[in-house]
Amino acid sequence: MAPEKDLKSILKKIQFTDDAQVMKQIVDQSLQVKTRMGRIRRKLVVMSGKGGVGKSMTTANLSLALARAGHRVGVLDVDLNGPCIPKMLGMNDGAFQFTTEGALPPIGPHGMKIASMAFFLRPDAPLQWKGPMELSPVWLGLQEMSVIREFLADVAWGELDYLVVDLPPGAAADKPPVIAGYIPELDGGVVVTTPSEVAKQVVKKSVVYARDVGIRLLGLVENMSGVLCARCGAPTPLFDGGCEDLCAALDLPLLGKIPFSQEMSRACDAGRPLAPDHLIAKRFDAIADRVQKCLALDSVVV
């Protein structure tokens, strides 16, 4: 009986040709992201380890504030399973136009370009992918990564001053590194939390994790910082204390405090931005101003 052949020695003898070109395709995908992102001056993510703290509301209103200040703004909603940016911005009927240049995003208030998974789904349909969920959902993470990559690579944003990305809740595990991996020149992250001790504890972990994967955090927005009386507008505390202690512990600037307001929640539900002179709109103008100052620190210091 002939001795068994050694695969290692066989492989040394024969010439490998890369017909499949899988690596080249993956490199091409990354290059396409780089090309698209290269036309955007500042890329920001809005994140939090905790759900329901107001990430999407912050994304929508921070973007509006930047747009009010005269910037060209794009909003990318990568909360694939619970996209709500289109509703908050009155874009429920928005749709992409597919052209040879890429997917043209619909235009929202103040000329903002909006991209969201919601534009691919029927109004009440949950996000479901083709694939054997019942057998093995191991492919699901890869699928979501590729979809996020497509949003970055295929949406024809054109030239923008700001791209604000709304990350899904519980984002500590996978999405920030995915985003950071695809956008190495990500300018920074804005963290959102409520002053609840429970939320702060979870958010603290996500801040540590984001920094571990190399995301520069610009500051923290404290949402539900008290409640405004619907009649007289006087603020009433909702929680004991604020987020100053968290910011001090994490060495993170406090960008601003947003109180709960019935007018704000109605505006979000109706998809109508608040009037620019509304107290909360002004608070977001101040937050946008601080974000810009944080971003400009590089050019001041260097």
Nearer to other proteins, 131 or 241 (CB): 131
For the bound state, the minimum distance from the C-beta of residue 92 to other proteins, rounded and expressed in Å, comes to 11
Nearer CB in complex with other proteins: 84/274: 84
Nearest to 164 by CA among 80, 62, 33: 62
Which residues fall within 8 angstroms of residue 239, CB to CB, at 6 or more apart? 194, 195, 196, 197, 224
CA distance 62 to 274: 12
Question: Using CB under 8 A as the criterion, which residues of the chain lie in contact with other proteins when the complex forms?
Answer: 5, 7, 10-11, 13-14, 16-17, 19-22, 24-26, 29, 95-99, 102-103, 117, 119-122, 125-132, 135-136, 138-140, 142-143, 146-147, 149-151, 154-156
Beta pairing class for 235-236 and 217-228: antiparallel
Question: Computed over its alpha carbons, how large is the radius of gyration of the chain?
Answer: 22
Q: How far is the CB of 281 from other proteins (least distance, A)?
A: 31
Identify the helix (H) or strand (E) that includes residue 256: strand 254-260
Rounded least distance, CB 260 to other proteins, Å? 33
Nearer to other proteins, 20 or 198 (CB): 20
- Nearer to other proteins by C-beta: 99 or 299? 99
Q: Which residues contact 169 (CB under 8 A, 6 or more apart)?
A: 48, 49, 50, 51, 52, 53, 55, 79, 82
- In the bound state with other proteins, the residue whose beta carbon lies nearer, of 136 and 299, is 136
Give the chain's end-to-end CA distance (angstroms, integer).
Answer: 72
Output the smallest distance, CB 215 to other proteins, in A: 24
Shorter beta-carbon distance to other proteins: residue 34 or 293: 34
The torsion angle over the Cα atoms of residues 31, 176, 46 and 188, rounded to 10 degrees, is -60
CB of 20 to other proteins, least distance (A): 6
Q: In the complex, what is the shortest distance from the CB of residue 140 to other proteins, in angstroms, rounded to a whole number?
A: 8
